[in-house]
Amino acid sequence: MVEASSFQLEDTVDFCPDIALFLNLTPDHLDRHSDVKGYGDAKWNITSRQTSKHHLIVNADDPGLRSLRERRDTAATVHEITADSSRAGHQATAAHLLETQRFTFLNPSFTMSIQELALQGKHNLYNSMAAGVAARLFDLNDAGLREGLQHFRNLEHRLEHVADVNDIRFINDSKATNVNAAWYALDSMTKPTIWIAGGVDKGNDYTELIPLVGDKVHTLICLGKDNAKLKKAFGTAVSRILEVESAEEAAVLGYNVAKPGDAVLLSPACASFDLFSSFEERGLRFKEGVRSL
């Protein structure tokens, strides 16, 4: 299994996976690719050398990916996943759809409640459906598929539950280095939230986050050398904006301003290289701050 970035894919010459997964396309790395079109073209190289004997699994609900597929073609066999019941009868859909809190794989049929998934949240529903389709293509049986989806452990720094301290939940999502990833993290929050964001802006447009932040977040803690863009974007969406200079300080400050029942979410929407060597270091230092409480 390989996770290939747009940086790797943009000039690959013979990469050709048997099964490729392409689940979303939102603006990212615009400092390198100049625009979304260039970014999308780079990512599309994941399937550009596939043939009819290969498989491409795509999220039919993602508008950016739909636009890309309208102008780019693939020779691979395409399998769509969707959580939109109106697409159930769509002939091109491999019909893996969400219905009444359950999702279904067809050919052969297999149904599972989303409450059974080890990983919760809308983005993890799509991830689980895509992984299930890939597993089916590798002939994994129903028992193995159910076992995997029920007991899969999330990777570090991806919506990672760090600890609950005096009924305040700390979540490390340092891997969220773009707006889309932060959107899914915020969308999954069920508690009043202190959001820690910031770092190296990659041409981010925060517009789509503003309604979600206004609904979910009461305090924004900015973690970066230059927070002017964040403060301007969310100045009217949250009741309080604070600034820190380290991930440890962000964790402690989040605890100090939180109330019991709140969540402190590190989901930066930015790269880490202004203050850290990597998103992993950012996440580890945040967790050190939590454990110091």
In a domain, 247, yes or no: yes
Looking at the structure, tell me whether residues 217 and 274 fall in a common domain: yes
- Arithmetic mean of pLDDT over the chain: 86
Domain end marker among 151, 182, 211: 151
| CATH number for the domain harbouring residue 77 | 3.40.1190.10
Q: What is the pLDDT of residue 74?
A: 95
Looking at the structure, tell me whether residues 176 and 111 fall in a common domain: no
Looking at the structure, tell me whether residues 140 and 200 fall in a common domain: no
Looking at the structure, tell me whether residues 197 and 128 fall in a common domain: no
The number of folded domains in the chain is 2
What CA dihedral angle connects 58, 62, 64 and 70, to 10 degrees? 60
Q: What is the pLDDT of residue 106?
A: 66
Q: What is the pLDDT of residue 91?
A: 46
Assess whether pLDDT exceeds 90 at residue 105.
Answer: no
In a domain, 124, yes or no: yes
Looking at the structure, tell me whether residues 10 and 133 fall in a common domain: yes
| CATH number for the domain harbouring residue 215 | 3.90.190.20
The whole-number average pLDDT for the span 223-243 is: 95
Contact 150, 117 (CB under 8 A): yes
By mean pLDDT, which of 7-11, 30-34, 247-251, 259-263 is the weakest?
30-34
Structural domain containing residue 240: 160-291
Looking at the structure, tell me whether residues 234 and 268 fall in a common domain: yes
Six-digit token pair at 182? 């932060």
Looking at the structure, tell me whether residues 226 and 275 fall in a common domain: yes
In a domain, 91, yes or no: yes
Confidence band of 215 (pLDDT split at 50, 70, 90): very high
In angstroms, the CA 24 to CA 254 distance is 31
Assess whether pLDDT exceeds 50 at residue 240.
Answer: yes
**pLDDT per position as a tens digit, 57-91:** 999 888 899 999 999 999 999 988 888 766 655 54
Q: What is the pLDDT of residue 249?
A: 97
In a domain, 1, yes or no: no
Looking at the structure, tell me whether residues 17 and 144 fall in a common domain: yes
82 vs 102, higher pLDDT: 82
In a domain, 269, yes or no: yes
Domain end marker among 100, 125, 151: 151
The whole-number average pLDDT for the span 174-191 is: 91
In angstroms, the CA 78 to CA 108 distance is 17
CA distances from 254 to 163, 192, 262 (A): 13, 12, 10
Looking at the structure, tell me whether residues 49 and 171 fall in a common domain: no
In a domain, 136, yes or no: yes
| pTM attached to this predicted model | 0.65
The percent helix, strand, coil of the chain (3-state, each to 5) is: 35, 20, 40
Domain end marker among 151, 184, 219: 151
